[in-house]
Amino acid sequence: MGYVGLPLALAAAKVGFRVIGFDIDERRVALLNRGESGFTHIPSGPLALALSQGRFTATADLSALNRPDAILIAVPTPLSKQREPDLTYVENSTEAIAKALRPGQLVVLESTTWPGTTREVVQPILEKSALRIGTDYYLAFSPEREDPGNVCFGTSAIPKIIGADDPASLKLACALYGELIEKAVPVSSAATAEAVKLTENVFRAVNIALVNELKVIFDRMGIDIWEVIEAAKTKPFGYMPFYPGPGLGGHCIPIDPFYLTWKAREFEIATRFIELAGEINTHMPHYVVSKLAEALDHDASRGLNGANILIIGLAYKKNIEDTRESPALKLIELIEGRGGKTEYHDPFVSEIPRIRDYPSLRGRRSVAITAEKLWEYDAIVIVTDHDSVDWPLIGRHGRLLIDTRNVCARNGVTGPHIVKA
């Protein structure tokens, strides 16, 4: 019942379905049953309404998985430390479903994964129950396409890709999503649907890598990449703007391409283009730190070692509290690894949660910013361009600004103390 599952549950409750939200985190279950979404970008009002109408309840009791007519799996699909797919959450969820599976139930995997997962991983686990796909139970894949914080495209407005490996499962899944989503898009197989989601995110990752590399090139030439993009996007055809940044964040774009890369090895195919894009995007926090160190040396006549640095924005994108794969975390690690001291300010992230790759950062709290406080920092690194941040205040009282989002220019903040990175 997280960033994907909760919006989907609320969409179903809104059109009249009775929904059970399963989550192994009992604290999360209690929060939801109190009518609190726990996310700033998901209003609690619809949840409270669904609870009052008896259309939603949350539980950690997985034995109740035999109750729903349809079970939608929306769990994380991270990478291991070796950058290989980790399907532990998918496998554990499917094992729990298999123990409770009854005839007539529809199971849909929504988690992003490599082509073939539904058939090769999920189906064999479910069929431990002795039920058979297409006759006893039904199985499909429909990738989540959530964009947290996007006010223009909510869950119901985003077309839903649906794939299955038998006609009965596809028909039933389309019938279900047809009630929840404005447009269902059926495809020929579960693997095709899995490939669709990977294609979408590989496309974004590769194009972001391209513009990140252009940023580095143009910066060396004394050319502003942001001005270039603004001019280029006036072309009404043949160009789509992508924007550079301090690195990739979120649970999809930094991770999903590697699921395809891993699967391609089975077919003896080298995904050179995808892996190169990954290398470029992964290097961007290092580039930002090099620009920070260069600016400190040039403008403040000091090194990064011992410098006081403020990070603006811990979330991976603006106006939400999601810190998954946020480049801000890597920046903190790199800056402190070179002897710098860091604090952060984020109006959406009051405290750093437990993060697998950065356990030492857990519990650090966002600092308030005032004119006096800003002057204490040797440099301020802008990582996330939240709308609610007082950018003119930062521009007036920050001694040295490293802007990775072009937010200063967009807010009319100018000056020789601003370095684009």
Tell me: do 44 and 168 sit in the same domain. Answer: yes
Q: Residue 152: what pLDDT?
A: 87
In this structure, the number of other CB atoms found within 10 A of the CB of residue 281 comes to 24
Tell me: do 133 and 243 sit in the same domain. Answer: no
Distance CA 218, CA 197 (A): 32
Category of 38 on φ-ψ map: left (φ > 0), alpha (ψ -120 to 50) or beta: left
In this structure, the number of other CB atoms found within 10 A of the CB of residue 153 comes to 12
**214: in domain:** no
Chain-centroid distance, C-alpha 301: 38
Tell me: do 56 and 117 sit in the same domain. Answer: yes
Tell me: do 278 and 185 sit in the same domain. Answer: no
| Number of domains the chain contains | 2
Which backbone phi and psi does 185 adopt, to 5 degrees?
-120, 95
User: At which of 190, 213, 237 does a domain end?
Assistant: 190
Q: Residue 286: what pLDDT?
A: 98
**212: in domain:** no
Q: Residue 81: what pLDDT?
A: 80
Tell me: do 160 and 238 sit in the same domain. Answer: no
CATH of the domain at 325: 3.40.50.720
Residue 130 carries which DSSP code?
S
User: Which of 152, 174, 252, 408 is an active site residue?
Assistant: 252
Q: Tell me the pairing of strands 70-73 and 106-109.
A: parallel
- Two tokens at 143? 């990738």
Tell me: do 44 and 172 sit in the same domain. Answer: yes
pLDDT tens string, the chain, 421 residues long: the values are 999 999 999 999 999 999 999 999 999 999 999 999 999 889 999 999 999 999 999 999 999 999 999 999 999 999 988 889 999 999 999 999 999 999 999 999 999 999 999 999 999 999 999 999 999 999 999 999 998 888 889 899 999 999 999 999 999 999 999 999 999 999 999 999 999 999 999 999 999 999 999 999 999 999 999 999 999 999 999 999 999 999 999 888 899 999 999 999 999 999 999 999 999 999 999 999 999 999 999 988 999 999 999 999 999 999 999 999 999 999 999 999 999 999 999 999 999 999 988 999 999 999 999 999 999 999 999 999 999 999 999 999 999 999 999 999 999 999 999 999 9
> Residue 306 sits in which domain range?
223-420
Tell me: do 133 and 35 sit in the same domain. Answer: yes
Question: pTM to 2 decimals?
Answer: 0.93
Tell me: do 57 and 186 sit in the same domain. Answer: yes
Q: Residue 83: what pLDDT?
A: 82
Q: Is 252 a catalytic residue?
A: yes
Tell me: do 171 and 243 sit in the same domain. Answer: no
